[in-house]
Structure 1
Amino acid sequence: MTEQLIPETSGSTRQRTYVVAICTTAYVLSFIDRQALSLMIEPIKRDLSLTDTQFSLLSGLAFSLLYAVMGLPIAALADRRSRPVIISVGIALWSLATTLSGLSKSFAHMFLARVGVGIGEAALTPAAYSMFSDMFPKSRLGRALGVYALGSFIGGSAAFFIGGYVIGLVKDVDALSLPLVGDVHAWQLTFFILGLPGLLLALLFFLTVRDPARHGLARDASGAIRKGAMREVFAFLRSHTRTFACHVAGFSLYGMVLLGLMSWAPAFYMRTFGMSPTQVGYALGAVVLVANGAGVLFGGWLVDRLTHRGHTDGAMRAGVIGAVGMMLPVILFPHVRPVWLSLALLAVTMFFGSFAMPASTAAMQVLSPNQMRAQVSALFLLVLSLSAVGVGTTLVALVTDGLLGSEARIGTSLSLVYGIAGVLGTGLLWLGCAPFRDSMAREERLTGRDVQAAAPDGAVG
């Protein structure tokens, strides 16, 4: 079996750049919709009469459960059908669900709306990863993925800035009256403002993005293209059990720190330092934009640099480097004073924590056959969502509410939960480097598929 190389004529540099740009824009909106919830924790808890644990279910389980579960059938479609159409429908769905979050009058209503956000966002990332792998050479895939991952932090930063601005603007207004809706609180208005632009982006995506030709298709012994059915995906994963066990578990623990801090940092700074939502929005918006943005781009560059130097486990190595750099500051930042020093250590944590996004994705994409890439990504995102977003955010709340018994001790909870997760994640990623090298060599030896080549030169970055 020989993998078909993508010819130089399969899309211009301008086309490839546009696809990355519009996918990144969609990712920005998805994280704005997702992240704004954490900044509005106190007014939502007050108006809906929620506990920390209930709020963690809204920001964690409600989103992650359907995001993870629906990711599998949607990814299976993405490995066979038009990826731009799938992404367009997903953008429209999560944007509508975000808008409906602003109509919530109870925990149950908000929970269902966040479920809708999760279902819609499940359509974007696996399909986008799959398209990028058909457009860029493996030696430059890390930078393309880094640019895409940057969207999550631009979106997170924008959510903090926009949310902080809107909350500050209407902080003295008990309720606003809107046509057809009636009286709404400031946090509800924020959801309306954040959700509606996505409907326009969904239409633009549908009209302007073409599905790239698929390349790197695995074939069976007779030379026929394998269908990439889920049973074949699981068979492929079983053939690399040690590699994917270390990859999935290691990056999930690593991601637990990054995604958990995105959810809980606003509450920590409001409770510990007495900052207002507007102050927190501006401070964390700057941290996420600068530290996470720089980290994800540097992480993508590092993956490509290590790969270019001949390290077939370059993506795993980049993950180890980031996890090591993150461990100490994530333990220290909740316990130092003054606030600027805490924010500085948080920024260091976020910089190194962001390496996980391009590194984990590049590792999956270079090893997996084309017709399995979206499904392998979806399986990874399933575990990541349930563990990092679902369990990770809720575990902090349970430790704060149950073990420590005080909302004011959330900093201790963050250090304890995410410090342990960081150490375990680092160890697993280190242990996974050698199996990953073996898996790369075995794929080339057994299938004849050149896992280091599959796309034209000329990429973003």
Structure 2
Amino acid sequence: MPLDEDLLPEARKSYRYQWYVVAICMLAYVFSFVDRQILSLMIEPIKRDLHLSDTQFSLLNGLAFSLLYSVMGLPIAILADKRSRPLIISIGVAFWSLATAASGLAKNFVHLFLARIGVGVGEAALSPAAYSMFSDMFPKSKLGRAYGIYSLGSFIGGAAAFIIGGYVINLLKSVDAVTLPLLGEVRAWQLTFLIVGLPGIVLALLVFFTVRDPRRRGLRRDADGGVQKVALRHVIGFLWRHRRTFAAHYLGFSLYALVLLGMMAWTPAFYIRAFSLTSSEAGYLLGVVVLVANGSGVLFGGWLVDRLARRGHTDAAMRAGVIGALGMTVPVVAFTQVGQLWLSLALLAVAMFFASFPMPASTAAMQVLSPNQMRAQVSAIFLLISNLIGLALGTTLVALVTDRVFGDPKMVGSSLSIVYGLASVLTVLLLWRGCRHFRRSVAAERAVGEPAAQPEGVS
């Protein structure tokens, strides 16, 4: 139905504001990935100064971050389903920014491990709250696009971490240490953490003062017309009722995350060791690959979800995941096995493009199926499983194969091929099987009432 002309300016204002919220949440996601990813580029100086093995470094890059990032996501998500979501996001941004800066003060493995746990705790506040807000702001036909643009922040952040980190490392390559007021002597890599961490405080204030919590829509109501109160046991009951769907979704997309996050964590070390690149050179090259390949991949993945949905596929998000997993399987194995740098980077770009599909796809699937009162919690449980598998297990498996099977750091490329090749095949099988279960779950939820009725958007 056409909008009345008198309402058009207000409608346009609302439309612009909706995308402003997506943009500022995307910017927060950029900051989160810069703070998360910068560690992987500085693997060699950190290992040298703190006397670490590949396995210990993988714990910093995986387990330390994912431990409380995964666990704290659920209680924070429970708050996000009941309290102000912009407030939760702003507190989270401030917390992880300070924790990143604290990484620059680390003097040993334990100090850095604790600081990385802090980064994980702060970042746990962002995605569940952002996902929940978007579902209340956009119709289903635009959800894939909104999630795709938001998810783009992870790859802009990953690229920025590589490029900015490479620039700072190159800038400080002749500087062994600097002396700062109150802090004393700090190494170049420690200064890098301070530089990238502190600006997040400004972003936290921007979220707090400019984003308002949208009205919650699609709430299920009891027989008296009141909003049903949802406890964690209700969420567990919902997941159990659709256990085949969520088993395929959670495990399939978690293995997908294992491949994507593992490549983000280990490709700098691979190119430094296999092609004798400097940290700066690796940062610049990988920054371009992540920005172009992953950025276009996540946008295309979001478009594909919306396209399949418009064509009547109720399992659109799961189908998009299957397509992406099929596309990444061969290049993710091959890029470490070729001898030419240009060919390796080309294959990596293809792998990264398809590896980006699940970011909007996995989110859209959860938000479409779940009732409003439990969206953030369903997302948080997924992030709990996804990050324990994708970050903690995925990065450490590669290190263990390198250290224990090959016993040679230069064989990290073969470890990548083995671990992520197997994970890619399992991803395809799980998501393909999950499509059928997802269709059944959507039909079942529609039979008892549309769980996530969306507001009409402005075209």
Fold shared, TM-score > 0.5 on shorter chain: yes
Deviations 1:295-353 (A, max 9, x none): 00000000000001100000000000000000000010001121010011000000000
Partner of residue 111, structure 2? 109
Asked whether the 8 Å contact 1:134–1:455 carries over to 2, the reply is: yes
- Counterpart code for 1:162: I
SS in 1 for 2:179: strand
397-406 or 173-182, which moves further after superposition?
Answer: 173-182
| Cα offset, 1:204, TM superposition | 1.0
1:376 pairs, out of 371, 375, 378, with: 378
SS in 2 for 1:87: helix
2:454 equivalent to 1:428: no
| Structure 2 Cα separation of the partners of residues 80 and 9 of structure 1 | 27
Q: Matches of residues 325-404 of structure 1 in structure 2 within 5 Å? A: 325-404=327-406
Structure showing greater relative contact order (alpha-carbon pairs closer than 8 Å, 6 or more residues apart): 1
Asked whether the 8 Å contact 1:323–1:425 carries over to 2, the reply is: yes
Partner of residue 275, structure 1? 277
Asked whether the 8 Å contact 1:443–1:449 carries over to 2, the reply is: yes
2:209 equivalent to 1:207: yes
2:235 pairs, out of 233, 236, 247, with: 233
| Structure 2 Cα separation of the partners of residues 218 and 52 of structure 1 | 49
Asked whether the 8 Å contact 2:370–2:451 carries over to 1, the reply is: no
2:306 pairs, out of 304, 307, 325, with: 304
Q: Matches of residues 422-461 of structure 1 in structure 2 within 5 Å? A: 422-446=424-448, 448-449=449-450, 451=452, 453-458=453-458
| Cα offset, 1:219, TM superposition | 2.5
| Structure 1 Cα separation of the partners of residues 28 and 129 of structure 2 | 12
Asked whether the 8 Å contact 2:40–2:266 carries over to 1, the reply is: yes
Deviations 1:177-231 (A, max 9, x none): 1111111111111101100110011011101100000001123455432212100
- Counterpart code for 2:455: A
| Structure 2 Cα separation of the partners of residues 118 and 455 of structure 1 | 33
Deviations 1:350-377 (A, max 9, x none): 0000001000000000000001000000
Partner of residue 7, structure 2? none
| Cα offset, 1:455, TM superposition | 2.3
Asked whether the 8 Å contact 1:10–1:213 carries over to 2, the reply is: no
Asked whether the 8 Å contact 2:336–2:416 carries over to 1, the reply is: yes
Partner of residue 260, structure 1? 262
SS in 2 for 1:335: coil
Cα distance 1:379–1:194, how it changes in 2: closer, same or farther (>3 A)? same
Cα distance 1:9–1:76, how it changes in 2: closer, same or farther (>3 A)? farther
Asked whether the 8 Å contact 1:133–1:455 carries over to 2, the reply is: no
| Structure 2 Cα separation of the partners of residues 433 and 219 of structure 1 | 29
Give structure 2 stretches of 5+ with no counterpart: 1-9
- Counterpart code for 1:302: L
Cα distance 1:69–1:408, how it changes in 2: closer, same or farther (>3 A)? same
- Counterpart code for 2:162: F
| Structure 1 Cα separation of the partners of residues 51 and 214 of structure 2 | 48
Q: What is the RMSD computed on CA atoms of the aligned residues?
A: 1.2
1:295 pairs, out of 294, 297, 300, with: 297
Runs ≥4 residues deviating over 2 A: 8-11, 219-224
Asked whether the 8 Å contact 1:334–1:412 carries over to 2, the reply is: yes
Asked whether the 8 Å contact 1:141–1:304 carries over to 2, the reply is: yes
218-227 or 367-376, which moves further after superposition?
Answer: 218-227
Partner of residue 4, structure 1? none
- Counterpart code for 2:208: F
| Cα offset, 1:457, TM superposition | 1.5
Deviations 1:51-80 (A, max 9, x none): 100000001000001000000000000000
| Cα offset, 1:414, TM superposition | 0.2
Partner of residue 250, structure 1? 252
| Structure 2 Cα separation of the partners of residues 183 and 192 of structure 1 | 13
Partner of residue 89, structure 1? 91
- Counterpart code for 1:178: L
| Structure 2 Cα separation of the partners of residues 223 and 154 of structure 1 | 44
Asked whether the 8 Å contact 1:161–1:285 carries over to 2, the reply is: yes
- Counterpart code for 2:454: A
Partner of residue 195, structure 1? 197
Q: Aligned residue pairs: how many? A: 450
Deviations 1:225-275 (A, max 9, x none): 221210000011011010000000000011110000000000000000000
| Structure 2 Cα separation of the partners of residues 75 and 139 of structure 1 | 25
Deviations 1:111-142 (A, max 9, x none): 00000000000000000000000001111100
State the identity %.
Answer: 68
TM-score, normalised relative to structure 2 = 0.96
Partner of residue 3, structure 1? none
Asked whether the 8 Å contact 2:97–2:197 carries over to 1, the reply is: yes
SS in 1 for 2:226: coil
Asked whether the 8 Å contact 1:135–1:456 carries over to 2, the reply is: no
Cα distance 1:450–1:51, how it changes in 2: closer, same or farther (>3 A)? closer
SS in 2 for 1:134: helix
